[in-house]
Amino acid sequence: MGHLLVSILVIALLALLFGLATTFVLRSIAPAIGLMDNPDGRRKLQARPVAVVGGVSVFIATILTLFSGAWFNIELSEAIRESVPRLAWLGLSATMTICLGFLDDRFDLRARYKLFGQIFAVVVLILGGGYLIQTVSLFGYTIEFGVFAVPVTILWFLAAMNAINLLDGMDGLLGTLGTIIVASLGFMAWYNDNIITAFMAATIVGALLGFLTFNRPPASVYMGDAGSMFLGLMIAAMSIQSSLKAPAVAILAPVALLVLPFLDTGAAIVRRKLTGRGLAISDRGHLHHVLQKNGFSVRQSLLVVGGLGLIAAGGAIGSVAIANDFLAIAAAVAVVIILLVSGWFGVAETRLVTTRVRAVLNSAITRSDSVELEVRLQGTAQWEEVWTEITTRAIVLNLTSVHLDVNAPAWHEGYHRRWSMRSQPQDQLKNWRVELPLLGHGQVIGRLVVFGDRGSDCIGEKLVALSDLAKRVEQLAVDATLPMAEESARLTRSAEMASLGHAHASQSIA
């Protein structure tokens, strides 16, 4: 067993070397093939374009390591020989995922196309590779999914792929957390005598560490959707194999390992659904954004996330070692409690849910004529004057509902407020709805959505009045966000100067 562990560590070292080499080479050719992430002043706030080739480099390094390592490592060679069909299908699915991510990084695919491609890649893996969750073990009980095994497995893969994808938003974050998760899965696989999965995990860990050399703050290479989706696919697949003891999958250990990505994704869904935003609409409410808003530097945020990831990993590994699911759940719950109690993450989403529930209950108890909800997700801008202007006009225009949703990621400003008449018009043919994007400082900073009853008034006059209202609201929104915009511009100029100074220093050294 000790000799096997040494072999696994040697393969991880080889993958590290390949990861360094492939990332270095791909970074140099990224501009020529159009794989660059360009700052847009709204969500992508880095000072300069950054190569988006980390995922491809990790994938290539993984393949090169497995093929070359099999030539001199007997344990790896035998493990591959015993698992050729399953590895072939896994390789095909991973290649499809990398290609899908490559196209998304290059051409920015629509969400529905990415989802379809992900499902197709997972179905290929299930049908050909045998990665099907038919039975899981929960607290000593065995649950068989029967005809639901395929949809449950697809859901597991999609959840892992998209949760990992959403978490990739800060220098070093995904590489750090991904390394912890994959290394834990490798240890669990080694403990359960799943040799090929242990080698696979070691290979990916080494490749990730090579990528992290270029992704540490300030990053010169990003993972990209190709890398995050590939990593999510591999984590989901290795979770099934590493947690397999007898016929059942001990699913709670992988769930605990993924508590941070799942929590971040769940919070994003709550935040966007309850504010009426589309699930694909980006914001600055993710875990790493909120940590930095709370005063943590990028490196401090990495330490926090890495520490929480180690807590989850310790619980997951311990639960497998002593065959006790409660340890995994306890570790995951501890991570969530730490974030909520400290106020580091989840506060805005919790406030959003409780405010919505309270508004509904108050309306039911008091029988008021209207329902109003206000939640500040982020920021300090004063929106009261804007809202007063809106509601004053709403009564004059005979509106039935008004939603103001501010989403200005560049300034960490998020605000949601809505007002609705309790009794809505019964004649749906007379109902109308207008959604107006609000512009400020050269970009979209929010939207105003109004609902009304056609009644007997001229609809054209109402639209003209709404146009005037939108102009007024935009001006008030610009005034409210001016301090944040000026500060953002100052920080951007400072980052550009620092980047320019770093470039001059590099040239001088060269």
- Say how many Å lie between the first and final Cα of the chain, rounded: 47
Same domain, 312 and 264: yes
Task: Examine residue 509 and state whether it is found in any structural domain, yes or no.
Answer: no
Residue of 102, 114, 103, 104 lying closest to 26 (CA atoms): 102
pLDDT of residue 488: 61
**Section 448-472 average pLDDT:** 79
Which helix (H) or strand (E) is 461 found in, with range?
helix 459-509
C-beta atoms surrounding 349 within 10 Å: 21
pLDDT of residue 260: 97
pLDDT of residue 329: 95
> Residue 55 in contact with residue 223, Cβ under 8 Å?
yes
Same domain, 331 and 398: no
* Whole-number Å distance between alpha carbons of 219 and 423: 54
Q: Which residues contact 505 (CB under 8 A, 6 or more apart)?
A: none
Q: Band the pLDDT of 510: cuts 50, 70, 90.
A: very low
Q: Is 244 helix (H, G, I), strand (E, B) or coil?
A: strand
> Residue 232 in contact with residue 59, Cβ under 8 Å?
no
**Section 263-276 average pLDDT:** 89
Task: Examine residue 39 and state whether it is found in any structural domain, yes or no.
Answer: yes
Structure tokens belonging to residue 136: 């899981």
Query: pLDDT tens, 147-186?
Result: 999 999 999 999 999 999 998 889 999 999 999 999 999 9
pLDDT of residue 92: 95
Same domain, 226 and 169: yes
Of 371, 400, 426, at which residue does a domain stop?
A: 371
Of 232, 250, 268, at which residue does a domain stop?
A: 250
What residues are paired with 245 via a beta bridge? Answer: 248
Helices (H), 243-297: 252-257, 259-274, 287-293
Asked if pLDDT for residue 507 goes beyond 70, the answer is no
Q: How many domains does the chain have?
A: 3
Q: Is 58 helix (H, G, I), strand (E, B) or coil?
A: helix
> Residue 194 in contact with residue 41, Cβ under 8 Å?
no
CATH no. for residue 464? Answer: 3.30.450.40
Sheet of strand 244-245, all strands in order from the earlier edge strand to the far edge: 141-144, 135-138, 248-249, 244-245
Task: Examine residue 303 and state whether it is found in any structural domain, yes or no.
Answer: yes
**Section 32-51 average pLDDT:** 78
Residue of 42, 385, 9, 19 lying closest to 186 (CA atoms): 9
* Whole-number Å distance between alpha carbons of 324 and 339: 24
* Whole-number Å distance between alpha carbons of 111 and 77: 39
* Whole-number Å distance between alpha carbons of 502 and 508: 10
> Residue 142 in contact with residue 135, Cβ under 8 Å?
yes
Query: pLDDT tens, 292-337?
Result: 888 899 999 999 999 999 999 999 999 988 889 999 999 999 999 9
Structure tokens belonging to residue 236: 């989901």
pLDDT of residue 430: 72
Same domain, 159 and 242: yes
Q: Which residues contact 161 (CB under 8 A, 6 or more apart)?
A: 97, 118, 228, 229, 232, 233, 236
Task: Examine residue 508 and state whether it is found in any structural domain, yes or no.
Answer: no
* Whole-number Å distance between alpha carbons of 298 and 307: 14
pLDDT of residue 243: 77
Lowest-pLDDT range of 15-29, 30-44, 300-314, 325-339: 30-44
What single-letter amino acid sits at 420? Answer: S
pLDDT of residue 500: 42
Asked if pLDDT for residue 279 goes beyond 80, the answer is no
| Residue 378 burial (C-beta neighbours within 10 Å; 0-12, 13-18, 19+) | buried
- In this structure, is the dihedral angle defined by the CA atoms of residues 484, 486, 489 and 494, taken in order, positive or negative? negative
Given the DSSP bridges, would you call strands 431-440 and 36-37 parallel, antiparallel or unpaired?
unpaired
Same domain, 340 and 258: yes
Cα radius of gyration rounded to whole Å, the chain: 26
* Whole-number Å distance between alpha carbons of 53 and 223: 6
Q: Band the pLDDT of 368: cuts 50, 70, 90.
A: low
- Provide the residue range defining the domain that includes 25: 2-250
What single-letter amino acid sits at 31? Answer: P
Of 327, 353, 371, at which residue does a domain stop?
A: 371
* Whole-number Å distance between alpha carbons of 203 and 182: 10
Q: Is 268 helix (H, G, I), strand (E, B) or coil?
A: helix
Same domain, 402 and 304: no
Task: Examine residue 69 and state whether it is found in any structural domain, yes or no.
Answer: yes
Residue of 309, 8, 327 lying closest to 181 (CA atoms): 309
* Whole-number Å distance between alpha carbons of 245 and 249: 7
**DSSP 8-class letter at 500:** H
C-beta atoms surrounding 429 within 10 Å: 7
Which helix (H) or strand (E) is 68 found in, with range?
helix 54-72
> Residue 30 in contact with residue 222, Cβ under 8 Å?
no
| Residue 69 burial (C-beta neighbours within 10 Å; 0-12, 13-18, 19+) | buried
Same domain, 341 and 396: no
**Section 118-125 average pLDDT:** 95
pLDDT of residue 19: 97
Helices (H) and strands (E) in the chain, counts: 17, 11
Same domain, 324 and 342: yes
Same domain, 245 and 258: no
Mean pLDDT of the chain: 86
Q: Band the pLDDT of 492: cuts 50, 70, 90.
A: low
Asked if pLDDT for residue 76 goes beyond 70, the answer is yes
* Whole-number Å distance between alpha carbons of 373 and 359: 6
Same domain, 33 and 100: yes
Query: pLDDT tens, 98-117?
Result: 999 999 988 888 889 999 99
Residue of 400, 385, 381, 349 lying closest to 487 (CA atoms): 381
Task: Examine residue 507 and state whether it is found in any structural domain, yes or no.
Answer: no
Same domain, 346 and 492: no
**Half-sphere exposure (CA, 13 Å, Cβ side) for 422?**
13
**Section 202-226 average pLDDT:** 95
Same domain, 299 and 411: no
SS (H, E, C) 340-395: HHHCCCCHHHHHHHHHHHHHHHHHHHHCCCEEEEEEEEECCCCCHHHHHHHHHHHH
What single-letter amino acid sits at 1? Answer: M
